[in-house]
Structure 1
């Protein structure tokens, strides 16, 4: 099978792979820029991209917007102006400000999930940036695209279908995960059928990208044969030299076993997949005290949430694994060495 480029409007990625956005700090400019440099689409996570800024603790929002701008610019430099996207969760506070910062910095694509990005076309109106919602069901894509049609007279530039084997926050009920895994291929076909209706109505091509559990060349071929135009891969890029996370974080992927990968509760109100460690063990027994609220998530209530996800993710990405949350996909246990971005892309492409 000849693998075709991924075309999103006037963006052409010769490698039909999007590197999934991973926060906090796991996919910033170095990883995203390196992925884009090799012909795929690199993605920066907008979840606290300014966590290393000097004033992050005092001026969190300003530090994040500044950090996002700087990382997009730097990724563009690393990639020789390759395609750079930004993953922005609907669940974050100051969503519109993050979108506008991405546009101002020259990002090419905004990928948005962890909620329904209903206002995204309105915020991006007048810019050339492409927009792609993350969906988990036919119902979700129907609601989003109908809303966009009614209120903005436009449709998606691409749609990312994220399955239940993904890392981080999952758009599924914990009790139905196994059922959703078994039904994922049928779900993809249903969503593609729905997207075709909007393609016909707007007389345009809406590329479909499959995400969640994509790990090897066979997975890529499988989803392309199902009708997808590309795949999104995140977990496999963590254990690379170019990944922005601390070496300890990468080592956690290499050392973990299949039984170490667990579903846990998130303050966002969604299940999350992570590697079992002392932090998760403590969380099973007690609520972890919150010393500071970063006002990052809309659904989060510091007085009742089980832990501060910002502190947990920052600890992990800085290498303090005992006090950190290590998000990962279901296939993290299959990683056994540190690779390079080029090696990962070559393997996915069957080269």
Structure 2
């Protein structure tokens, strides 16, 4: 197995811990993964939800928490590789990227749209940048754009497949059409595209695969396809170090394979989540009352949404799993117990 090189730092295992919001991937989880030799990722999505002024001024609360959560992670792993996941779809995407750079991010990973402005927002810093892509087409679009506009390329590329959790980079009908074999071919095509840009700039761009990576057999499968590493999210939810409430973790343990469904987010994007009372009411067409706008997603219209994604995700992370949005990967049903980050890493790289 290769180690992943991020700037002047090298992982001990080819692992990135996926960024999960709201509040699932914060400083404790990211620092713990970095301590074990992987790359720990903090999600900036409504990261300041626990701040006293979050309801009144979510922008300031989030920016403050971006800094404080990095400090928590660094306290756990002073020399580890720690970065942020900053969704392109966020209203305050640019401000979050700048705050992440200021906080000392080793890397920023960005998806939920194409992060066209990421090179400009990080210019002059030591922070490395990585787009999330799901198809060879999207990989070509973003790498060609960065090449032409900024005369640079990615430092790393994350391929997020159809078995991932949360918002997905596919149309709903595409998700069921892909098989492990056909998506394996898509992964190979993306790797070749990335290699082409790496050769142009005289660098090696690591390619990391995410979505449906739960155990060592999944790791082996994508490494055999030619990937340099894996990004794993769902597997780390049921660890002691995960920043979510214990009831959130137990929801994964109690879920069956049939409970995991493709749902529509309030902004129309497909996502994967555990079917619970909230999702059942939404599926029945019930409009859920929500709090005043917390300025999360750029394309959200508060007057028109069936429910508030911020309310749903905050309810979930705080343990209100009946009224919460429980995003998860396709293999969340495999969770059987609460263990530690170290045990999860050992299982992944047995």
TM-score (norm 2): 0.98
Residue 230 of structure 1 is matched in structure 2 by 229
In 1, Cα distance between equivalents of 2:78 and 2:101: 18
Report what 1:121 is aligned to: 119
**Aligned equivalents of 1:223, 1:329: Cα separation in 2:** 16
**Per-residue Cα deviation, 1:266-309 (whole angstroms, up to 9, x for no partner):** 12331010011111111112121223111111111111111100
Deviation at 1:10, TM superposition (A): 2.6
In structure 2, the gaps of 5 or more residues are none
Aligned counterpart in structure 2 of residue 103 of structure 1, from 101, 105, 130: 101
Shift of 1:76: 1.1
Once the two structures are superposed, residues 194-216 of structure 1 have per-residue CA deviations (whole angstroms, 9 ceiling, x without a partner) of: 11110111111000000000011
Match of 2:213 in 1: 214
Match for residue 149 of structure 1 among 141, 147, 150: 147
- Measured in 2, the distance between the counterparts of 1:81 and 1:63 equals 27
Tell me what 1:164 maps to: 162
Q: Which residue does 2:267 correspond to in 1?
A: 268
Measure the CA separation in 2 of the matches of 1:31 and 1:250. 13
In structure 1, what is the Cα distance between the partners aligned to 2:174 and 2:123?
37
Q: For each residue in 1:64-91, what CA deviation from the matched residue of structure 2 results, as whole angstroms up to 9, or x when unmatched?
A: 0000111012101111231101000000
Look up the match of 1:55. 53
- Give the deviation of 1:8 after TM superposition: 3.1
Q: Deviations over 1:88-118 (max 9, x none)?
A: 0000011111001101111100000000000
Counterpart in the other structure of 1:46: 44
Q: State the distance in 2 between where 1:244 and 1:201 align.
A: 41
Aligned to 1:66: 64
CA apart distance, 1:260: 0.3
Indicate conservation of the 8 Å contact 2:312/2:323, yes or no: yes
Say whether the 8 Å CA contact 1:211–1:231 is kept in structure 2.
yes
Question: Quick one: distance in 2 between partners of 1:333 and 1:68?
Answer: 31
Q: Count residues with an aligned counterpart.
A: 348
Distance 2:57 2:304 in 1: 24
Q: 1:259 to 1:318 in 2, by over 3 A?
A: same
- For structure 1, which segment, 202-211 or 142-151, has the greater mean C-alpha deviation from structure 2 after superposition? 142-151
Name the residue aligned to 2:316: 316
Q: Can you list the C-alpha shifts for 1:309-330, whole angstroms capped at 9, x where unaligned?
A: 0000000000011110000000
Give the RMSD, CA atoms, in angstroms.
0.9
Counterpart of 2:336?
336
Preserved contact between residue 97 and residue 121 of structure 2 (Cα < 8 Å): yes
Map 1:68-87 → 2, pairs under 5 A: 68-87=66-85
TM-score by structure 1 length?
0.97
Are 1:91 and 1:299, in contact at CA under 8 Å, matched by a contact in 2? yes
Preserved contact between residue 56 and residue 63 of structure 1 (Cα < 8 Å): yes
Report the secondary structure of 1:321's partner residue. coil
Matches within 5 A, 1:125-204: 125-182=123-180, 183-204=182-203
What residue ranges of structure 1 are gaps of 5+ in the alignment? none
The whole-number CA distance in structure 1 between the counterparts of 2:267 and 2:239 is 28
Aligned partner of 2:24 in structure 1 is 26
**C-alpha separation between the residues in 2 aligned to 1:129 and 1:176?**
34
What is the alpha-carbon distance in structure 1 between the residues aligned to residue 137 and residue 2 of structure 2? 29
CA contact (8 A) 2:6 2:106 kept: no
SS in 2 for 1:323: coil
The residue aligned with 1:37 is: 35
Task: Say whether the 8 Å CA contact 2:7–2:106 is kept in structure 1.
Answer: no
Separation in 2, partners of 1:196, 1:113: 20
For the pair 1:252 / 2:218, whether they are aligned, the reply is: no
SS of aligned partner of 1:142: helix
